[in-house]
Structure formats: C-alpha cells, structure tokens
Structure 1
Amino acid sequence: MKLPTLDLFVIAAYGVGVFLFGCWFARRSSNTSGFMTAGGGAPGWAIGLSIFGTYLSSNTFLLYPGKAYGGDWNAFAFTLAIPVAALLATVYFIPFYRAGRSISAYEHLEEKFGLWARTYGVACYLLVQLARVGAVMFGMSLVLSTLTGWPQHYVIIAAGVLVTVYTAIGGIEAVIWTDVVQAVVLLAGALVLFGLLLGGMPEGPGQTLQIAREANKTSLGSLDLDLVRSTFWVPLLYGLVENLRNFGIDQGYVQRYHAARSAQAAQRSLWLGVSLYVPTCALFFAIGTASFAYYQTHPQMLADVQQQVAERRSAAGGEAVDPASLSDSEVADSVLPHFIVHGLPAGATGLLIAAICAAAMSSIDTSLNSTATVVLIDIYQRMLRPGCGERESMAVLYGATAVVGALGVAIALLLMRAESVLDAYWALSGVFAGGILGLFLLGQFARWVKNAAAAIAAAVGVLVVLWCSAPQLIEVPAAWRYPLHVHMTMVVGTLTVFLVGLAVQPLITAANPTPGEPPA
C-alpha cells in the first residue's frame, strides 16, 4: 500500500531527526570514557527514561498486544516480577558496581572465579544481545512492511544501518538522549492508539470490557502450580530471573549505573524506568484486548486481516490457506498493523509508525553500545592487546558496533521464518543465558564457593540448559524430553548452577583440607 504524503513526511522527519540528534553527541563520545559511560555525568532522570525506552522495544509495542489479542494477559506476569528484581538491584547490585573501578560487568567474575568465568559470561552476553538485536529488528520490520508495503528485508537493512551509524558516532550519550526522545514518542503513540480503539467501539468504550470478559481475554493464567503449561507462575518466575539478569549482570545496565552522577542517582533512575514501564506494559496489553474487541465488532476488517494472513501463508508454503480457518493467535500479530493503516486518520498513522521505530531503535542502540564495550574491555584489552592506546580502543569500539549491527541484521533476516518472534527471542535467551545469573549469584551471595566448585556448577548448568533446549533443536525421544515449559529453561539453568555450586563446595573442601583454593 501507499501511505499518505503526510504520514510519509512524519516518518521521514522522525528518522532524520533522531539520526542527526544522535550524531550531535559525536564530540562528547570521541574518547572511550565518553563512549561507554558519558564521563559519569548523565542526569539520573534521563538515564531512567533511557531504561524505560530500552525495555519498550518494538516487540513490546507489537507483540504484547498480539499476545493479548491471541490469548490473554498471561505474559504480563513477566512484568509483575520487575519491581522485585529492581529492589534487589537497588540494594545489592548498584552499590556493588559503583564501588568498583571497572565498568565491565564480567571482570568481577574473573576476580572471583578466574578467567574462564569471565569468558563464559562474555560469551553468553554476546549471544543474548545478538538474539535481541535480531528479534527487535524483525519485529519492527514486520509492521513497517505490512504498513507500507516496503520489502521486509529492505526495512531490516535500512534500520540496521541507521541505528548502527548514530550509535557508533554518538556513543552512550546518543543512546541515552535518543532513548529519552523515543520513549516520549512511543508513549504518546500508544495512548493515541488506545484512545482511538476505545472511541471506535459501536456501543462505547464499555463494550470493550464486556467483550473481553466474555472471551476471557484478561486472565493472567491459571494459578495451578503447573510449570509444564504457561500458567501464571511460568512467566512470573521467568520474569524474575530474566530481570535479575538484566539489572545484575547486563552490561547495558551496568554502564548506565556508571553513567549516573552518583550511586543514589543510579538507583533513582532505575526506579523511574521501572515505575514507568509496568503501567505502560499494562497499556500495551490493554491495546491488544481493545483491538480484539474492536475487530469483533468490525467483522469486515477482521475478514481483511484473515485474507492478508492467508495470502502470506499461501505464498510462503505453496498451499492455499482458508482465511476463515485461521485462529485468533494466527492473525494476532497482523491486527494492530492493519488497524494503524485503516483505522487512523492521516498523520496519526505516521506518528504510530514513528513510535514503533522509536521502540525498536531505543532497544537496538543499547545493545550495540554495550556489546561494543564488552568486545573492547573483556576481549580486546583483556586477551589481545592489554596496553592498547586511546585511538586504538576507539577504533575497536567503532568496528565492534558495525559488526554487531551487521550480525543483528543477518539474524533478523533469518527470523523472518519464525512463527512467534517473542517466543523465539525468549527461547534463544534461555539457551544462551541459562546459567550465567546462577554463577553471578554464587559470587555475590555464596562467597565461600571457590573456583573449582563454580566451574563444576557452570559445566553442569550448561549440560542442563542444553538438555532443556534440545527439543527445540532436534528430535528427542519423548522419555528423554525436558518436561517443563520452554520459558523455564533460564530458571532451571540458574537454579542448577547456584545449587550445584553450594552442594559441590563442601565435598571439595572435605576431599582437600589443605588451606587455600583447590585447583580448578
């Protein structure tokens, strides 16, 4: 389809504006301190909005409403765990990092357990961030392609180049301040969208709640203690572990802690981001519920969406698909883009598309900047060139940003075949980061656990995570399959590393009573 000229102008103006705004910080990011931590002078409120913007990726904008449309609010339980993780971060993690001199989240693992632990942490982080960048780029390209008719792979490539360039030029200050702008744009777009959905109901906004209740669209899931199905407890436990990993050992957050002017400012910024994100996430689920009710009362629009999805699936699979046979979950990710095109006035469509772009860019730029920092500090300076100078270090930061951006584009192109981007990202995160939080918690809260016990625990954790993930990768006999829900992989991996470390250390101590740490 062809968007109206006004909408195209809004999209183009926003993209150019963000790009130029990010490049404005080039001078402040011309050295490693400015590139990685903004010289420790960023205001806490800006960092808080940046944290909020980073959480609000385009996947949140598009796929959380899709979850609510196709099912219910079960995935919102993930968000309910965020305040608990933020409390632990405020009490333990932020003071710990601010007291240290290094901005690397993984140098502390080496100090506690040795170089192998740091290497393991770095590898897990890099893999998770690559998966994140790819998933977010794909989510953005899906809606832009649907809305504009532009080829999806062109959208992925163009977005990847744009974000990579301004992130490399502007460093973390560009990340923080563009995130501030993008958070405001995204929230404004979401509020406009929700208001138009409610206002378009034939019998008024109250009809939305009535239809949602009748279809059981507002449930958080079963309260049964069942970890095989996606009950309330599965996303809640996954959310607790994932957000502890984010706040406790994610390089992007650690850099923000150091970018703040003080530990207290860092703590306030984290709570600002969390206090904004939780209700905003609820807003996105409400948008999904409202879009379900809206399309139930506008059957011709629903038929149009079903026809579009059926045509895409027929083209991809080579076999005809009956539009009427498609379930709610099969059309869920396409409903909101359809409404943005056909249910909004001229100009508002451009605003919503700009908001989706904002959500994606605020997530991607953080991953690019933090990953480049890890490559410089934890790989290049630690293992290859410990004495490298400022100019060489900046060259590595620029090069790493470009490479990670290119790899993210490649992963996004591969994810074009995934059925659910959110599920794909969660599954990949579980595989790559299944045990790293457990190792970090051993170092923080079980200081008597030494190198050898931690190494054994990490090895067992890797094997357990591989076993948990095997059914997603290869055919596994039913008797050998991991029995729990796929989102429990990270929870199981974390608990395995932590508990095995606690159990093995007394055995090693008993077998080797000699004072000092046993060899790993």
Structure 2
Amino acid sequence: MKNLPFLDLAVIALYLIGMVLVGVFFSRKNHSSDDYSKASGKIPGWAIGLSIYATFLSSNTFLGVPGKAFGGNWNAFVFSLSMPLAAWVAAKYFVPFYRTVGEVSAYTNLEKRFGAWARTYAVVCFLLTQLARMGSIFFGISLTLQALTGYSMETIMLVTGICIIIYTVMGGIEAVIWTEVVQGVLKTLGAVLIIYLIVVDIPGGFSKIIEVGKADNKFSLGSLSLDFTQSTFWVILLYGFFINLNNFGMDQNYVQRYHTARTAKEAIKSVWLCVWCYVPASLLFFIIGTCLYTYYQLHPDLIEPVKLQAAAERLGSAASSSDIAALAANLKPEDYGDKVMPHFMVTMIPTGLVGLIVSAILSAAMSTISSGMNASATVFAEDIYKRYFRPNITDKHNMKLLHVGTVVFGLAGMICGIAMIGVKSILDIWWQLSGIFAGGMLGLFLLGLISKRSGNTEALAATIVGLMVILWMSLSYLIPQEYSYLKNPLHANMIIVVGTLTIYLVGSIMTKFKSETGINN
C-alpha cells in the first residue's frame, strides 16, 4: 500500500494535536472528582445528546457497517430501527431513576437490592464489555491506517491510544463530551463526503446504484420468517432492542452522561437527540457499502488487490502466489468487506481529502474509546476500589485513582485490539462479544427494577441459571459433532435475548412461588 502524502499526514497530525489540546484546556476545570466524572452537572442536553450519538457512531459503524453492506445486505440496519423503542423505555424509566438516586455509578443500586455480589457481578460484565468494545475499535482503526500508511497495526494502536489517553486523563468527562460533539459532526460530514466521492465515479450515479442493488438484493432488511437460527429481520430487531436497552439503561458510558445534564428533562432530551441523529446517520454507512459494491461491480479489476490481500492473510506468509491467486478467485464479497473502504480511500480519494476522512474515522474511534476509558475508570473507582479497599479516600486520592484507571483501561483496550487482529468482521465480533457480556447483567437489572418483591436468593439463583444458559449458547459449538443435538440451535445474536429473559423470568417465577408458598429468604 502507498504511504500518505505529507498534506494528509499534516491534517491527521493537526487533528490529533487538537484533541490533546482540548484535554489540556479542560484539565484546568477539573478541581474535584465530581468535576472529573460528572462535570458538576453543567452540560447542556444537546451537547450530551451529540456526545451519546458520537459514542454510538464508532469506527465499528464507520468501517464495519459498510463492510457488512458490501458483503451482504442491509439486514444490520434493523439494529438502528430498534433504537426508538429502547430509547422510549430508557427515557420513561431509567433516566428518571438514575437522576433520582444520584449515584454516579450505574451499579450501586444493585447492591442495595440484592447485595454486594450483584453489584460486583454487573461491574465485571461491564468492564469486559468495555474491553471488547475498545479492542474492536482499536482493531478497526488500525486496519484502516495500516492500509493507508503501511505501518504495523500494533504501532498504529499505540500511537492513537496514547493520544486518546492523554486528552481523556487530562480533561475528564467534560473533555470527552465536548470533543465528541466535534467528532460527531466530523464523522457525519466524512460519511457524506465518501458517498459523494464514490457516486461521482459511477456512470449513472444513484440510479445505477439502485439498479445494481436491487438486482443483487443489497437493500434487503432480512427474511421476515420466524426463524431464529439465521440473521433474520426479527433476530436483529430483538438483538438491537436488548443491546440498546442495555446501552441506554445501564451502560456506564451513557448513565454517567445523564448525571452531567443540568436537569432530568435535559438528560431525557439527550437520549432522543441521539436516536434522531443516529438512525439516519447509520443509514449513510449502509449506503456507502452499497455504493462501494456497485463501484467494484463496474470495475472488478480494481478490487483484485483486496482479494489477494485477504487470501494471503488466510493462507499465511508461506503460501505460494499461485495458491493465493486461486483462493482469491473464490472469495466472496463478505470475505473481504472490511478491507474495501480502506482500499477505496488509498486508491481513489484525492490527496488532502484522505486526511480529512481519516480524521473522521479517527474521531469515530476516539470518541468511543475515550468514553469507555473514562466510564471504566469511574466504575473501578466507585464500585471496586472504594467499595472493597478504601471507602473513605480523599478527593485528591480519588482523582489520582481515576487518572491511573483511565490509563490502565486504555492500555488494556489496546491489548484486546491486538488480540483481535485477523478476525473476519469487526461488526460481527463486536456484536457477539457484547451479546455475551451484556446478556448476563441486563436481566438482573430488569429484575431489580421491575420485580419489586424479588430478593437476594431469587436474584442469585436466576443469575446462575442465566449464566449457565449464556455459557452453553456461547460455547456449545465446541461440542463434538456426534453430540450435535446438544448444540445451541439459535443465532449468536440471540444470546443476549435469551440470557436476559432467562434471568428475569427465573427470578420472577421464583419470587411468585415464594409468595404463594410463604417461603422467606
């Protein structure tokens, strides 16, 4: 791959320096841990909404979604269509609840309902989810920049990670929110610019794109059949609802932002602003994938380097050129979808504009990673260190703890990103991991919020049963073929749905049984 021209590198460097300077600016405002983690409740709702939108619109969306649309269809867009319903539930029940209790951590209330084990369990699930999220995003951004610069993915993760750590550590949640406002605008404009650059190179423009898309079924949202073993419309709708409910309802990244709002009404407005921005914005990235598919259908020779690269990665460095060429000829679009947009940027986008678009992709990565680092550090400080080690630490000590935690989780995210090198689809790996980790805590949280009479015994038993179901659904593919009847028959995206419902229903049934029989905890 060619190296970026100096102008593009300068644009990217200026962007990175600008983000670091934002951290320096806001560091002067962080006089206490309350400033650092809650911005003292002084952020306007519109800024919080754009911040949440920017967190949703990560590099997994920027790179993974076009890759999915290129290799398949618009089935994954159903995830976005599920957001309004999840937002309605969150705005009606979750946001007012958090604003009333006033706890900066989303998980403190679980201890009050069920005991310390519930709080710790949810925290572990959250931290694992964040590491998976940050890792997939580090991987996605390094995949793009490697194609553009030729540097190793590990080096790219290290450089971008250090920049993110600096401005997040220095600026706290206020720096995270205001940089995400800028990043949300930048990445949206980047998507529009990419669409324009592709369409102007396609004879017939959008008419041709629609023609090719219809012919190859690229606009399909998935089968409407009630088949939960495949990625149907209903599977993605259910998955999206539960994941988005988890995001809006108990993900520390979002809950922490509710506390930065001036009022509960402003916090609720921020949720809806995020939805009305994200749904149409995510559509842009599906359009990008279909535009790229049409472009390379009309210019098949231009996609050959991508197919050869994908084949070489599969076979390894010892493979002969003839073997690589033979495999490349048989690859399907879904086998190399994530590599197509970086390739288009390298070969077709003019000098100068590449720097702007890479900055947009960087902003997509940095917004989600920075918020994940800040939220993870806050949860560790509130729910682990202060809960089990030093509950009465000074505010100065707490600030140091938040700084150190931010650095540690940033480095851990980089390590996870390195471990993901070689995965087939960024979006698939993130959806699978998030479903596994989130499925175990959403059900417990709903049990505590809805089933008022459920106690510690019911919650613990339900969680154990739910975890066993989640582990079986996640790992049953390891079962030998002769025992195939014991394998999970459902699609992987159903893990969070089944896991959540199992915990909630088992806990509710046990509570009802206890009530009817007169058994006490």
Q: How would you bin the TM-score normalised by the shorter chain?
A: over 0.9
* 1:489 and 2:491 matched: no
* Alpha carbons 1:234, 1:488 under 8 Å: kept: yes
Q: Quick one: which amino acid aligns to residue 124 of structure 2?
A: A
Bigger mean CA deviation after superposition, 26-35 or 225-234 = 26-35
Bigger mean CA deviation after superposition, 453-462 or 320-329 = 320-329
Runs of 4+ in structure 1 deviating by more than 6 angstroms, as ranges, are none
Distance in 1 (alpha carbons) for counterparts of 2:480 and 2:192: 45
* Alpha carbons 1:469, 1:489 under 8 Å: kept: yes
What is the aligned partner in structure 1 of residue 439 from structure 2? 434
Post-superposition shift, 1:417? 2.6
Question: What is the correspondence of 1:349-364 to structure 2 with a 5 Å cutoff?
Answer: 349-364=354-369
CA deviation vs aligned residue, 1:3-42 (integer Å, no higher than 9, x gap): 1121111111111111111221102224210111101001
* Alpha carbons 1:453, 1:508 under 8 Å: kept: no
* 1:148 and 2:149 matched: yes
Secondary structure of the corresponding residue to residue 434 of structure 1 = helix
Post-superposition shift, 1:309? 2.5
What is the aligned partner in structure 1 of residue 32 from structure 2? 31
Which one of 500, 505, 520 corresponds to residue 499 of structure 1?
A: 505
Post-superposition shift, 1:184? 1.2
Post-superposition shift, 1:104? 1.2
Distance in 2 (alpha carbons) for counterparts of 1:295 and 1:282: 20
Post-superposition shift, 1:508? 2.8
Identity percentage of aligned residues: 46
What is the aligned partner in structure 2 of residue 104 from structure 1? 105
Secondary structure of the corresponding residue to residue 221 of structure 2 = coil
Structure 1: gaps spanning 5 or more residues: none
Distance in 2 (alpha carbons) for counterparts of 1:186 and 1:419: 24
Distance in 1 (alpha carbons) for counterparts of 2:500 and 2:274: 25
Secondary structure of the corresponding residue to residue 419 of structure 1 = coil
Distance in 1 (alpha carbons) for counterparts of 2:251 and 2:206: 41
Post-superposition shift, 1:116? 1.2
Secondary structure of the corresponding residue to residue 221 of structure 1 = coil
Distance in 1 (alpha carbons) for counterparts of 2:89 and 2:317: 46
* 1:282 and 2:283 matched: yes
Q: Quick one: which amino acid aligns to residue 305 of structure 2?
A: D
* Alpha carbons 1:202, 1:297 under 8 Å: kept: no
Which one of 358, 377, 388 corresponds to residue 372 of structure 1?
A: 377
* 1:452 and 2:453 matched: no
Q: Quick one: which amino acid aligns to residue 283 of structure 2?
A: A
Distance in 2 (alpha carbons) for counterparts of 1:73 and 1:316: 34
* 1:409 and 2:414 matched: yes
What is the aligned partner in structure 2 of residue 62 from structure 1? 63
Distance in 2 (alpha carbons) for counterparts of 1:79 and 1:317: 42
Q: Quick one: which amino acid aligns to residue 504 of structure 2?
A: F
Bigger mean CA deviation after superposition, 465-474 or 479-488 = 465-474
Q: Quick one: which amino acid aligns to residue 9 of structure 1?
A: A
Post-superposition shift, 1:475? 5.2
* 1:342 and 2:347 matched: yes
Distance in 1 (alpha carbons) for counterparts of 2:37 and 2:317: 43
Secondary structure of the corresponding residue to residue 29 of structure 1 = coil
Post-superposition shift, 1:316? 5.1
Distance in 2 (alpha carbons) for counterparts of 1:334 and 1:187: 20
Which one of 388, 404, 416 corresponds to residue 393 of structure 2?
A: 388
Question: What is the correspondence of 1:166-315 to structure 2 with a 5 Å cutoff?
Answer: 166-315=167-316
Post-superposition shift, 1:507? 2.5
CA deviation vs aligned residue, 1:187-212 (integer Å, no higher than 9, x gap): 11110000111111123321011001
Secondary structure of the corresponding residue to residue 435 of structure 1 = helix
Q: Quick one: which amino acid aligns to residue 15 of structure 1?
A: L
Secondary structure of the corresponding residue to residue 24 of structure 1 = helix
TM-score, scaled to structure 2: 0.96
Distance in 2 (alpha carbons) for counterparts of 1:473 and 1:447: 39
* 1:83 and 2:84 matched: yes
Distance in 2 (alpha carbons) for counterparts of 1:137 and 1:316: 24
What is the aligned partner in structure 1 of residue 3 from structure 2? 2
CA deviation vs aligned residue, 1:318-346 (integer Å, no higher than 9, x gap): 46322222111112111111111111111
Secondary structure of the corresponding residue to residue 410 of structure 1 = helix
Q: Quick one: which amino acid aligns to residue 216 of structure 2?
A: A
Post-superposition shift, 1:481? 0.6
Bigger mean CA deviation after superposition, 175-184 or 443-452 = 443-452
Secondary structure of the corresponding residue to residue 135 of structure 2 = helix
What is the aligned partner in structure 2 of residue 508 from structure 1? 514
* 1:123 and 2:124 matched: yes
Secondary structure of the corresponding residue to residue 222 of structure 2 = coil
* 1:461 and 2:466 matched: yes
Distance in 2 (alpha carbons) for counterparts of 1:253 and 1:190: 24
TM-score, scaled to structure 1: 0.97
